[in-house]
Structure 1
């Protein structure tokens, strides 16, 4: 059974506690990361539908499929980062260049990594039956996108958590500056797109 759109109130930002209520593997891998926010995704289905969600979300990361506002903000961020040297390996300390794959236990390191997003700066870490994590690192911060498939009533739904480890004062200031854009523009636009394309 393929995923379907969730029409109820569970779509959108939800309490961060809902990420910690479940025993995800990412808890042990990134304990020093802050959970910035958690989102209920507009996908529901059965216990076996996480792979369908992953196929859809992975495919939607192609640049042409992003909402116009999201593409515009990504372009601005990319050009700003290139101009200020935020995204080059010689622009900061080695702390942010160390991949979280170095922390993975053997079963996750040797298992499937999940989809590669050719038009988004995320590197997959691991993929399980109900959990996926990918990382992004630059001079401002080290972040993790965590996707999961959680029990909700009689079925299951998609959930996304954003974990962040800012790099010094620059990272803290950067995350504070982009928070309104993420909460009001980027993620709502992506959720609307996913909902309408179903």
Structure 2
């Protein structure tokens, strides 16, 4: 999993661009998906939906644990700071046919709320006391005859504290969290391609 230029995301005709004009692009990553073809986006989503956090490295799991502990102490995740209370859901900005579409089963262990899914993209959102965020997964040609996954993170910080918090955790995300999740993603993808299953067997 490696960071890629922002233009790799902004140049795509994603629907998400139309509903996140007031958000900033925080990160763009290439997802491990070696050997993927044009119709393999559902496989990429299956890897995400199976959950990855419990397969990540010990430092990454410790960071997740620490984040939840800090969130509890500072009350960052209380209901009044989330979707439908502090901020409205971006579903209100979607075209009617997507806004009324039933969501898929929730991703295992995910804190994100489903926004929409199309043939080559899915968007999810989250909100707490520090920010309103969007996680976007896309499926694009890799320019070498194959296809690859793309993950983008967009955020709208909640005031100065939210902006400071996002700046503070950025090195941890880039150096520990995303690389570890990328390795877990790569293992899951390879297992799915080799065995047709997502378990460790």
Q: Same fold (TM over 0.5)?
A: yes
Q: Which residue of 2 aligns with 1:81?
A: 71
**Aligned residue among 28, 31, 39 for 1:41:** 31
- CA gap 1:156/1:180 in 2 versus in 1, 3 angstroms: same
Matched, 1:32 2:22: yes
TM-score, with structure 2 as normaliser:
0.86
Q: Aligned equivalents of 1:138 and 1:23: distance in 2?
A: 29
Q: Aligned equivalents of 1:187 and 1:103: distance in 2?
A: 29
> 1:143–1:164: 8 Å Cα contact kept in structure 2?
yes
Matched, 1:66 2:85: no
Q: Which residue of 1 aligns with 2:146?
A: 155
Q: Aligned equivalents of 2:164 and 2:29: distance in 1?
A: 23
Aligned residues: 187
Q: Which residue of 2 aligns with 1:195?
A: 186
Q: Aligned equivalents of 1:170 and 1:93: distance in 2?
A: 18
Q: Which residue of 2 aligns with 1:107?
A: 97
**Aligned residue among 173, 185, 200 for 1:182:** 173
Matched, 1:171 2:165: no
Helix, strand or coil at the partner of 1:22: coil
Report the Cα offset of residue 96 of structure 1: 3.8
Q: Which runs of 5+ in 2 are unaligned?
A: 191-201
- CA gap 1:130/1:181 in 2 versus in 1, 3 angstroms: same
Q: What is the Cα-based RMSD across aligned positions, in Å?
A: 1.9
> 1:50–1:130: 8 Å Cα contact kept in structure 2?
yes
TM-score, with structure 1 as normaliser:
0.87
> 2:3–2:30: 8 Å Cα contact kept in structure 1?
yes
Q: Which runs of 5+ in 1 are unaligned?
A: 1-10
- CA gap 1:86/1:54 in 2 versus in 1, 3 angstroms: same
Q: Which moved more, 1:81-90 or 1:183-192?
A: 81-90
> 2:3–2:29: 8 Å Cα contact kept in structure 1?
yes
Report the Cα offset of residue 60 of structure 1: 2.4
Helix, strand or coil at the partner of 1:97: coil
> 2:113–2:125: 8 Å Cα contact kept in structure 1?
yes
